[in-house]
Amino acid sequence: MAVRVLGHLQAPASLKALVAVLLIGGFSPLLLAQGTFVNKDPETGETICDYDINADCRLLLQNRNKVERSPKESGPIDLTGYWMSVITEDWRWRVLTPPKGDVASLPLNVEGMRAANEWDPNDVGSCKPFGAAGLMRNPTRVRFQWEDENTLIAETDHGVQTRRFQFGATPPGPEHPHSLQGFSVASWGASGLKVETSHLSAGYLRKNGVPYSEGAKLTEYYNVYTAFDETWLTITTIVEDPKYLTRTFNTSLDFKKLEDDSDWNPTPCQAVAIVGSE
């Protein structure tokens, strides 16, 4: 059967031979140019290809039938709603504030060690532990919602921070201002979400002053799955910071989906108790 499709189709050699036969046999006008196999409808000007014998025609027809959808509509996972961090590892670093100098398991270079040892435990009101590179490691709840068709918002109640994941955006130039949450470019993968964040202001990877610099880059992978009849989110984070780290700092964080917002408890950045301090 003949199927009408717009555009030219790449033809294999066998179809080129078929074109020649049809031309000799007086078939309706066939055009063969630049390796294309096209049959023009003299009345409408549309291109016609043989659906039964031309795989390219089938593929083109399938693509034509696909409706262009926005990032909000086309995601392979649904992140909207409320999530709670489930901390089963690194408790003493993520829930508590460790003493100054506790940098175990962190790939710090000499400059990073120096900066960590300069941290003042009496410094109050700092929101540096809530910058994008360390935010999700805090014991927090996260609310995801769409701001528009191309922007997904992630808000935390602990620290009261807001991140914007912008689909289709281009990372800005070096003149763009830096901020605690930086500039995040988002893209859907086959089974999850990828977020790349730049233009960060300096912050902490750990509450006791372990630093990351303004030149740090954060890459995250978000994946949703079901286990034990519950919906879970795992975020894999990769922090690159040549100024303070000898290599990338990689972590994996787990969140469980909540039924509603009854536990949502916004708490702005504030000083926390120091383990072992008076």
* Signed CA dihedral, 33, 36, 38, 40: sign only: negative
Q: Report the pLDDT averaged over residues 94-123.
A: 93
pLDDT of residue 126: 84
Q: Where are the domains of the chain?
A: 2-65, 72-268
Domain 72-268 has CATH 2.40.128.20: yes
Q: Of 21-25, 179-183, 260-264, which range is least confident?
A: 21-25
- The Cα 211–Cα 114 span in angstroms is 10
Tell me the pTM: 0.75
- The Cα 10–Cα 75 span in angstroms is 31
pLDDT of residue 273: 47
**Distance from the first to the final alpha carbon of the chain:** 84
Q: Report the pLDDT averaged over residues 245-255.
A: 98
Q: Of 25-34, 117-126, 159-168, 180-189, which range is least confident?
A: 25-34
Residue 11 has pLDDT above 90, yes or no: no
pLDDT of residue 222: 99
